């Protein structure tokens, strides 16, 4: 039996349709590689859950390492500082790469430890009694000291990497929308200061986050708006087909054009949905050897399985919402249009618009809905609105067994070409 090559919720085997973004990142990094100077301001990819931000960044990390960069990766979590993690990851990265000559290693480790102390990282070096007393008297680590410690870290790591034949340092920060404001302010200030001496600072910071990220950054420091924001779009039809076809092709298994078309139409360019649908089709078909072909029948047969997975995800999202959040989502789901204005929501709920600001922002924060132009919002993932309508219609979260599925419910026949369309359903070679 062949292994299932699809990866719902994990890194994809084939990153399809992101050439433009990858080129953009390479251009950004080539400045460091060629001139040894700072890549530019913070570069951030924003987009809803499941659109492929982490996957893109991980691929960029691999690519950067293949081009001689040392990299560090951190993911922000709500209410937890990310700088301590960043400092220790940068320290580990340079150690793992093993680029320092033995004579420098000891000194660098001490240096890292003293920088780490500013971020509350424990040290194996004995802190002098005086320094310890000073630290415990201060409630939080002083912001100014953290900024200059972070500057030192980024500057010294980047130049050390370069001194020893590497290209420079790249720091990746995922889930940037969840970063604490204090830590972001320190990062932005440090980068701003280092930009003044760009030719001495061979590093870059690349991040990703939900569509709320720009607001979070500007809120942390006014010049957060100097960040380069790039929106990560859904996949174009050709890329969506490649995302499904290529992992199978690597195992010698083909999809018929009709089957590919059906999956792509159902997923609407959403990478996560593509993976779920392709994974389910494969599970049902269980191809056992190269040369087998996945057709439309198997896509159909896989739908209930894909439905189950999506239903579980939507049910978890719905259950985690507050009453007011549910009311907002209910209005949106029943509006009959893809986008809804704040005023429409307020009117439907009989409340002033301002009263809905907080729950609305929380839904955006969680990546469930996203801003869509002036005062408008929409759901981020196709299918959730239908789930909500069904949930409301049955008075409870629909059971996957009896309720019409997310991917079915009369849509199935309309969207998927019928199985008898056998003429077109021939292998793609």
Interaction with ligand ATP in 115-174: which residues (CB under 6 A)?
none
Q: Which lies closer to ligand ATP via its Cβ, residue 17 or residue 33?
A: 17
Distances in Å between the Cα of 240 and the Cα atoms of 31, 261, 372, 395 are: 31, 9, 23, 35
Q: Residue 369 CB, nearest distance to ligand ATP (Å)?
A: 14
Contact characters 38-77, Mg ion, x per CB under 5 A: ---------------xx-----------------------
Q: Residue 39 CB, nearest distance to Mg ion (Å)?
A: 22
Q: Which lies closer to ligand ATP via its Cβ, residue 75 or residue 195?
A: 75
CA 265 to chain centre: 23
Is there binding between residue 382 and ligand ATP (CB under 6 A)? no
Q: Residue 120 CB, nearest distance to ligand ATP (Å)?
A: 27
Radius of gyration of the chain (CA): 25
CA 266 to chain centre: 22
Q: Which residue is nearest to ligand ATP (CB)?
A: 52
Contact characters 55-94, ligand ATP, x per CB under 6 A: x---------------------------------------
Is there binding between residue 46 and ligand ATP (CB under 6 A)? no
Strands 376-379 and 340-341: antiparallel
- Name which of Mg ion, ligand ATP, none residue 201 binds, using a CB cut-off of 5 to 8 Å depending on partner kind: none
Strands 69-75 and 293-294: unpaired
The residue from 51, 147, 153, 262 that contacts ligand ATP (CB under 6 A) is: 51
Q: Which lies closer to ligand ATP via its Cβ, residue 78 or residue 413?
A: 78
For the beta carbon of residue 402, count every other beta carbon within 10 angstroms.
7
Interface stretch with ligand ATP, choices 31-39, 47-55, 61-69, 334-342 (CB under 6 A): 47-55
Q: Say if CB 300 and CB 412 are below 8 A apart.
A: yes
Residue by residue, DSSP assigns 314-368 as HHHHHHTS-HHHHHHHHHHHHSSSS-EEHHHHHHHHTS-GGGGHHHHHHHHHTTS
Strands 69-75 and 369-371: unpaired
Q: What are phi and psi of 168, to 5 degrees?
A: 150, -165
Q: Which lies closer to ligand ATP via its Cβ, residue 149 or residue 273?
A: 273
Contact characters 321-360, ligand ATP, x per CB under 6 A: ----------------------------------------
- Residue 90: name the closest of 169, 151, 29, 159 by CA: 169
Q: In whole angstroms, what is the distance from residue 145 CA to residue 151 CA? A: 10
Distances in Å between the Cα of 106 and the Cα atoms of 101, 112, 155, 156, 369 are: 10, 10, 18, 15, 50
Contact characters 170-199, Mg ion, x per CB under 5 A: ------------------------------
Q: In whole angstroms, what is the distance from residue 193 CA to residue 201 CA? A: 11
Distances in Å between the Cα of 148 and the Cα atoms of 115, 145, 410 are: 9, 5, 61
Is there binding between residue 54 and ligand ATP (CB under 6 A)? yes
CA 171 to chain centre: 15
Contact characters 241-260, ligand ATP, x per CB under 6 A: --x-----------------
Q: Residue 385 CB, nearest distance to Mg ion (Å)?
A: 22
Residues that bind ligand ATP (CB under 6 A): 7-12, 15-18, 47, 49-55, 243, 271-272, 275, 367
Residues that bind Mg ion (CB under 5 A): 53-54
């Amino acid at each position: 039996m062949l292994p299932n090559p699809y990866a719902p919720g994990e890194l994809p085997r084939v990153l399809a349709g992101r050439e433009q973004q990858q080129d953009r990142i390479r251009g950004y990094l080539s400045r460091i590689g060629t001139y040894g100077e700072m890549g530019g301001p913070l570069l951030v990819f924003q987009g809803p859950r499941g659109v492929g931000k982490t996957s893109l960044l991980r691929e960029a990390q691999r690519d950067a390492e293949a081009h001689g960069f040392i990299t560090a990766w951190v993911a922000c979590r709500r209410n937890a500082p990310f700088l301590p993690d960043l400092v220790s990851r940068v320290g580990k990265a340079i150690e793992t790469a093993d680029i320092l000559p033995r004579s420098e290693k000891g000194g660098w480790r001490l240096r890292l430890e003293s920088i780490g102390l500013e971020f509350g990282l424990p040290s194996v070096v004995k802190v002098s009694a005086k320094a310890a007393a000073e630290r415990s008297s201060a409630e939080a680590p002083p912001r100014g000291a953290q900024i200059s410690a972070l500057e030192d870290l980024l500057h010294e790591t980047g130049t050390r990497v370069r001194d020893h034949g590497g290209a420079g340092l790249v720091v990746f920060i995922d889930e940037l929308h969840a970063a604490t404001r204090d830590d972001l302010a320190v990062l932005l200030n440090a980068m701003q200061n280092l930009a003044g001496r760009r030719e001495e600072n061979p590093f870059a910071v690349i991040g990703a986050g939900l569509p709320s990220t720009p607001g979070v950054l500007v809120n942390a420091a006014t010049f957060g708006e100097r960040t380069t924001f790039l929106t990560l779009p859904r996949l174009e039809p050709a890329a969506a087909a490649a995302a499904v076809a290529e992992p199978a092709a690597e195992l010698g298994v083909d999809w018929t054009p009709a089957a590919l078309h059906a999956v792509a139409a159902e997923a609407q360019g959403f990478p996560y949905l593509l993976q779920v649908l392709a994974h389910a089709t494969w599970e049902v078909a269980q191809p056992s050897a190269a040369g087998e072909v996945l057709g439309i029948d198997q896509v159909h047969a896989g739908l209930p399985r894909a439905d189950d997975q999506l239903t579980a995800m939507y049910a978890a999202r719905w259950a985690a919402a507050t009453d007011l959040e549910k009311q907002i989502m209910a209005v949106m789901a029943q509006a009959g249009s893809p986008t809804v204005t704040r005023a429409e929501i307020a009117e439907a709920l009989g409340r002033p618009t301002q009263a809905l600001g907080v729950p609305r922002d929380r839904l955006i924060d969680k990546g469930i809905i996203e801003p869509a132009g002036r005062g408008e919002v929409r759901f981020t993932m196709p299918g959730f609105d239908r789930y909500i309508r069904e949930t409301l219609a049955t008075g409870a979260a629909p059971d996957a067994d009896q309720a019409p599925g997310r991917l079915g419910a009369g849509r199935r026949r309309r969207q998927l070409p019928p199985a008898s369309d056998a003429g077109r359903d021939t292998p793609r070679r």
